[in-house]
Every structure is written in structure tokens, then in C-alpha cells.
Amino acid sequence: MTDCLTTIQFADDIMPGCRCTTVLWYSDGVDTGDALDRIAQLLHSDMSETSNTSMRIPTPLREAAILAAKELNLAPSATALTTMALRATLEAALTQAALDEHYAQYPETRPKLADLAIAAANLDGNPLAADPERIRRAAAELASVHPDPDPDDVLIWAEARAFRS
Amino acid sequence: MNPLVVLDNEAIQALASPHHPKHQSTVNHVQLLVRRKKRTTAITLVAPTAVRVEVGWDRASPQWAFLNRLPIADAHLDEGSANKAAAIREQAQVSVADAHIGATVQSAPHLDITVLTSDPKDIRKVVGGRPVKIIRI
């Protein structure tokens, strides 16, 4: 049941208070590594085959999804929107789990806050990317006054410091 | 349209091997993308299949277990991409893999495209007029 409990904790971020009522098919005899490999394989599979499924989701959420799909053009349908969101969630969880396993094996590769902030500057085309040392200083300063800063917070901090000086 | 991130040969090699000198830089970028994915920014990572061939990434091989678990989709070399890649290779005098990267970028419907690469100069030659962020790993 450990895997199911993990699922509950993860789902709690999305639907607080929800509880898993179904014992997962892989809960016996499949370790986490095998589960990750299988999830990756499934996400790489041909997605043209579909299944009907009966899921209970909160009614307001369902109505919001229908409206968002129709009026905000987020997806062709509420079902497509649900599928997209589910896929994005699974991909993020899978990648983080794969990275965490990698960091457990090679602890020195776990990125530091400054590394992530530099990557964020690169990806966003932020001019601060040309000055990684400034980002590293900002990361160190911010980490000393903030319990869990985000890489984007570091960039804002570095920009604010540059503005003040 | 969600952002697209294309990986070149060395980005894939660097990600696959903890001993590669650019492993850390590539992991930093992938970790950041995952953080953003968790914040519901749907980001698509792709490896053009010609790039996979060049680096020897066989999805069925346990040697590539770490990369196989990452949601990096294939950008296929279908008829249209092959035609475009052939033209790019002829014009820019680049490798088949880089030409396929160019074809992937030029035909992508995405507005926000990033290429992680060890060779920005060659990538600039293949992206045509597309506004692309080219990040050196």
C-alpha cells in the first residue's frame, strides 16, 4: 500500500482531502524503479487508443473545465483539458522522481539555488544570464533571509539590487 | 501553445552521463523545467530522432535508463521533416542531426522555442528566421 499512500500525498496537492479508494494494480511485487520505467513507457506509447473511464471529480471543477475549454480555448473539450493536465502532472512527477533517484546516486549533481536561477535567466532570455556571479551573490543573500526561495525570486532579488545600486 | 525545448547531441550525451563535463549544466536546465512543469506550465522537451541516432540513444536499452525515464518526446524524421532537413543540410553544410534540429524548429507551431546545445553557432545556421532562444550548455 506504500505506492497508494504516495499517490494520496501527491493527489492531496491537487484535491485536498481526497482519499484513494482503489488498490493500485502494481502495489504488489513492483518496486518504484520498475514503476517509473513502466510509467515512462506508457507516456511514450501511442495515445490514439482510448478507454472509457468513470471518474468522480468535484462538480464545480468539471463545470469550470467545460467553460474554460469552450470560452478560453484552452483545449478542444473538457476531456482533452483533463487529459492534458493529467499528462503534464504525470510527466512532472516522473521527471522529478527520476531526477531524485539520480541525485541519490550522484549527490553532487543536485542543482543549487544559484544554478537553477542561472538556468532560469538563460531560459527566459534575462540579461542577468550574462552575469552569473551576480546571480550567485543574490542567491546567497536571498537564501540567508528566505526559508525556501524560488529561482525566479533570485532573479527578482538580483534585479532589485541592481536597480538600487 | 506551450514552450518547446529541443535537445542537441551533446545535451543528450551530457544528460545521460554524470561524468560528462556538461552534465551539471544540462541537469540544472532540466530540473528548472520540471519545477515550471509543476507550476502547470506545460513544456514539451523533444529530441529529434536523427540526434538520437547520432548519440546512440536506444530507448529499449537499459544503458539509457535515466534518459528513458525523462519525458523527452521524439521529433520524428517523417517525409516533410526529411525534405526540410535535406534542404537545410545542403544550404547550411551542417550534420544530419543538426539539420533535423533545424527542421524540427522551423516546422514547430510553438511560439516559444529553446534549443539546449553545445554549439550555438551551428544551431543559429539551421533555425531559419524563427525567433529561438539558443542556450549553450
DSSP B69-112: HS-EEEE---HHHHHHHHHHHHHH---HHHHHHHHHHHH---SS
Evaluated on CA atoms A39, A45, A47, A52, the torsion sign reads: negative
Collapsed DSSP state (helix, strand, coil) of residue A105: helix
pLDDT of B1 over the 70 cut? no
Say yes or no: A116 contacts chain B, CB-CB below 8 A. Answer: yes
Evaluated on CA atoms A127, A132, A135, A139, the torsion sign reads: positive
A58-63: long-range contacts, CB 8 A cutoff, minimum separation 24: A58/A15
pLDDT value of residue A53: 82
Q: Write the pLDDT tens digit of every residue in A23-33.
A: 455 455 568 88
Task: Supply the mean pLDDT for chain B.
Answer: 93
Please state, in angstroms and rounded to a whole number, the distance separating the CA atoms of residues B137 and B121: 13
Q: Write the pLDDT tens digit of every residue in A62-118.
A: 999 999 999 998 899 999 999 988 988 899 899 999 999 999 999 999 999 999 999
Tell me which DSSP letter residue A130 carries.
Answer: G
Q: Which residues from chain A sit within 8 angstroms of residue B31, using beta carbons? A: 99, 111, 116, 119
pLDDT value of residue A3: 41
ipTM over 0.85: no
pLDDT of A16 over the 80 cut? no
- Mark yes or no for CB contact A44/B73 under 8 Å: yes
- What residues in chain B have their Cβ under 8 A from chain A's Cβ atoms? 18, 23-25, 27-35, 37-38, 40, 42, 59, 65-66, 68-71, 73, 114, 133, 135
pLDDT of A5 over the 50 cut? no
Task: Supply the mean pLDDT for chain A.
Answer: 83
- Mark yes or no for CB contact B40/A44 under 8 Å: no
Say yes or no: A35 contacts chain B, CB-CB below 8 A. Answer: no
Q: Write the pLDDT tens digit of every residue in B28-71.
A: 999 998 888 777 667 889 999 999 999 999 999 989 999 999 98
Say yes or no: A38 contacts chain B, CB-CB below 8 A. Answer: no
Of A37, A88, A111, the CB nearest to B37: A88
Say yes or no: A130 contacts chain B, CB-CB below 8 A. Answer: no
Q: Write the pLDDT tens digit of every residue in B85-120.
A: 999 999 999 999 999 999 999 999 998 899 999 999
pLDDT of A55 over the 90 cut? no
Three cell numbers written together for B63: 544503458
pLDDT value of residue B51: 97
**Residue recorded with cell 463545470:** A63
pLDDT value of residue A103: 96
From the CB of residue A150, how many other CB atoms can be counted at a distance below 10 Å? 16
Assign residue A73 a region (left: φ > 0; alpha: ψ between -120 and 50; beta: otherwise).
Answer: left
Three cell numbers written together for A54: 468513470
Please state, in angstroms and rounded to a whole number, the distance separating the CA atoms of residues B135 and B117: 6
| B-interface mutation test, from A34, A91, A101, most B Cβ less than 10 A away | A91
pLDDT value of residue A119: 95
pLDDT value of residue A8: 39
Its pTM stands at 0.74
On whether the CB atoms of residues A154 and B61 are closer than 8 A, the answer is no
Closest residue in B to A85 (Cα–Cα): B40
pLDDT value of residue A10: 44
Q: Which residues from chain B sit within 8 angstroms of residue A105, using beta carbons? A: 18
pLDDT of A14 over the 70 cut? no
pLDDT value of residue A11: 45
pLDDT value of residue A164: 67
